[in-house]
Structure formats: structure tokens, C-alpha cells
């Protein structure tokens, strides 16, 4: 039984250059969001097909950007399943991932906060006293490693792919765009990006035994940093968390985030805010 988990984000997709504004209902903005969702869906579909063509029996996609409900799932390969809904209403990171999975695949990843000339860089974890700094992508790889799962593929801009390939020896990488500023990039055309993602995911799954899980040994002190509008200066979003494993420290940081209500008892009739 070969199981593959695909963690997705939007900012690292070919053609994505700036955030959508969820509060702006004008036609141009709505149309832009739809286009970005379409581009994301196509890249994810390329990865799903690659996983099945490489022998996967089960593929789970996690729609993890922003609201958690971006992928046009009715257009995905019907052999996969998708985790989506409203992020913040439950555990949204790597939900259902466990040691039964053979590989983690990252599609649409973006650079960590404070990375110069990266497309919409945000989220930054400091490990211990700054021995390592991690993006959402490398953090996903580290959490998966605590389950013994190797991260075999990443696609995104040149900044996140170079960060992650420096940390994970042998990972398959597809650079879908070269970032030129936080909001400008030299991008592959989506059809080409999908072709390369398909090939890269096939290679990554085939070579999974040669790619070690990205294990961060415990105990670990983790500090979550971010900033207003993703610009400097960066501040601590919660106090540093020291735990036996990076997974425990990660979830303690997540629990401290203001938008997370996983451990809250909600009143009857509460409606989750659209984020
Ligand atoms: Zn995102």
C-alpha cells in the first residue's frame, strides 16, 4: 500500500505574484482569485497524476492556503481525496498524515518571512538560538519527519526551493519562477510548470528510499515570527516554545496564533469567520 500526501499552498504557483484581496468584491479581483485557483488546481493535479502513475494506491491532498478552500476540487483526478474547509476550525497542517505514508510532496511553496526578493515571503520559525530558520515548507518537512515520512518533492520560487534543497539532500525540486521582488517574478508558463511538476514528483516518489526524512532532533525551542503586511520588522507571535519534538513545539506555536480556535469550545451557532 503506497500512500502519498500532497501539501499545497498558493503563493509558490507559476504565475502567482501577489495576494488576492478576499474583502474586495470587484470583478477584476474576483476574476484574479479564480485564475489563481485554476493555476493551483492544475499544478496539484499534475502532482496527483504523477503519484498514481508512480504506483500510489492512495493520495491525499491538503488545501492549506489561507481559507483552506481554494482548489477547484471537482476538477481534480477523482482517484485522490482532499482535505479542505475552513482553516483554523481544526488542525489544518498535515491533518491525517502518519507513518503509513511513504512520501510528502510540497506544491506551491513560498519563501520564509524576511527573504529578500521572494514572492510574498511570510512565516518564519527560529529553531533554538537561531541554529536554523525555517519556512512553512521546511517546517512541513520536519513535522512529517517526526512520523518518519520523507519529503521527496517541492515546487515554488527560486528562493524557497534553494532553502529546502539546502536542508534536504536529494529532494526533487522544480523552480516554477524566479522572484524579482515581493510582487514580481519571471515565471514559467503554467503548462510547462505542470509538465515539470509531473516529472519531478514521479522521480521523487521513485527515489523516496534515498531521501532521508528532514529530522530535527529534540528537544527543540521554537519561536514563531511574522510581521504586519509581511514586511520588516519581524516580531514574536507567541513566546518561544520548548518541547521534546519539533512537532509538539510547532503545534504549541500554532495554538497561540490568534486565528486558531482548535482548542476552544465554541458557543452553539458560532459561525467561523471567513479568513
Ligand atoms: Zn498561502
What is the rounded average pLDDT of the residues 223-244?
A: 75
Note down the domain range covering 51.
3-111+136-215
For 21-62, what is each residue's pLDDT tens digit?
Answer: 767 778 888 899 999 999 999 999 999 999 999 999 999 999
Flag whether 237 is in a domain.
no
Flag whether 130 is in a domain.
no
What is the rounded average pLDDT of the residues 184-188?
A: 97
Flag whether 152 is in a domain.
yes
Q: Please tell me the pTM assigned to this model.
A: 0.92
How far away, in angstroms, is 44 Cα from ligand 1 center? 14
Q: Supply the pLDDT for residue 108.
A: 98
How far away, in angstroms, is 10 Cα from ligand 1 center? 5
Min mean pLDDT across 103-112, 176-185, 227-236 is at: 227-236
Structural contact between residues 225 and 113, judged by C-beta atoms closer than 8 angstroms:
yes
Give the Cβ contact number of residue 210 at 10 Å: 11
For 25-35, what is each residue's pLDDT tens digit?
Answer: 788 888 999 99
How far away, in angstroms, is 205 Cα from ligand 1 center? 24
Q: What is the 3-state secondary structure (H, E, C) of the chain?
A: CCEEEEEECCCCCCCCCCCCCCCCCCHHHHHHHHHHHHHHHHHHHHHHHHHHHCCCCEEEEEECCCCCCCCCHHHCCCCCEEECCCCCCCCCCCCCCCCCCCEEEEEEECCCCCCCCCCCCCCEEEECCCCEEECHHHHHHHHHHHCCCCEEEEEEEHHHHHHHHHHCCCCEEEEEEEEEECCEEEECCHHHHHHHHHHHHHHHHHCHHHCCCCCCCCCEEEEEEECHHHCCCCEECCCCEEECCHHHHHHHHHHCCCCCCCCCCCCCCCCCCCC
For 188-214, what is each residue's pLDDT tens digit?
Answer: 999 999 999 999 999 999 999 999 999
How, if at all, do strands 58-63 and 81-83 pair?
parallel
Highest mean pLDDT pick, 20-29, 113-122, 155-164 = 155-164
Q: What is the mean pLDDT of the chain?
A: 89
CATH no. for residue 49? 3.40.50.10780
How far away, in angstroms, is 1 Cα from ligand 1 center? 31
Q: How far is CA 183 from CA 110, 157, 190, 226, in A?
A: 12, 12, 18, 18
How far away, in angstroms, is 9 Cα from ligand 1 center? 5
Total number of domains in the chain? 1
Flag whether 262 is in a domain.
no
Flag whether 105 is in a domain.
yes
How far away, in angstroms, is 217 Cα from ligand 1 center? 27
Flag whether 116 is in a domain.
no
Min mean pLDDT across 10-14, 63-67, 78-82 is at: 63-67
How far away, in angstroms, is 11 Cα from ligand 1 center? 5
How far away, in angstroms, is 176 Cα from ligand 1 center? 16
Flag whether 103 is in a domain.
yes
How, if at all, do strands 124-127 and 81-83 pair?
unpaired
Would you say residue 122 has pLDDT above 70?
yes
For 76-93, what is each residue's pLDDT tens digit?
Answer: 999 999 999 987 776 668
Flag whether 197 is in a domain.
yes
How far away, in angstroms, is 49 Cα from ligand 1 center? 22
Amino acid at each position: 500500500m503506497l500512500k502519498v500526501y500532497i501539501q499545497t499552498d498558493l503563493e509558490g504557483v507559476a504565475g502567482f505574484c501577489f495576494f488576492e484581496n478576499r474583502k474586495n468584491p470587484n470583478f477584476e479581483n474576483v476574476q484574479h482569485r479564480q485564475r489563481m485557483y485554476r493555476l493551483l488546481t492544475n499544478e496539484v493535479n499534475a502532482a496527483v497524476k504523477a503519484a498514481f502513475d508512480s504506483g500510489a494506491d492512495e493520495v491525499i491532498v491538503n488545501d492549506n492556503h489561507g481559507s483552506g478552500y481554494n482548489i477547484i476540487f471537482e476538477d481534480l483526478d477523482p482517484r485522490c481525496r482532499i482535505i479542505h474547509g475552513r482553516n483554523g476550525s481544526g488542525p489544518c497542517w498535515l491533518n491525517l498524515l502518519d507513518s503509513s505514508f511513504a512520501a510528502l510532496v510540497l506544491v506551491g511553496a513560498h519563501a520564509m518571512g524576511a527573504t529578500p526578493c521572494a514572492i510574498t515571503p511570510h512565516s518564519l520559525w527560529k529553531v533554538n538560538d537561531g541554529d536554523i530558520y525555517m519556512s512553512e515548507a521546511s517546517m512541513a518537512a520536519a513535522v512529517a519527519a517526526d512520523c518518519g515520512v520523507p519529503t521527496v518533492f517541492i515546487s515554488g520560487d527560486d528562493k524557497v526551493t534553494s532553502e529546502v534543497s539546502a536542508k534536504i539532500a536529494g529532494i526533487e525540486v522544480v523552480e516554477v519562477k524566479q522572484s524579482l521582488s515581493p510582487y514580481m517574478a519571471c515565471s514559467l508558463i503554467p503548462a510547462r510548470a505542470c509538465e515539470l511538476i509531473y516529472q519531478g514528483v514521479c522521480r521523487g516518489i521513485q527515489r523516496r528510499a534515498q531521501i532521508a526524512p528532514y529530522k530535527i532532533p529534540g528537544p527543540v525551542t521554537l519561536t514563531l515570527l511574522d510581521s504586519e503586511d509581511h514586511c520588516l520588522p519581524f516580531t514574536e507571535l507567541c513566546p518561544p516554545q520548548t518541547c521534546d519534538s519539533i512537532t509538539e513545539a510547532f503545534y504549541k506555536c500554532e495554538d497561540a496564533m490568534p486565528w486558531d480556535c482548535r482548542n476552544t469550545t465554541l458557543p452553539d451557532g458560532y459561525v467561523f469567520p471567513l479568513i
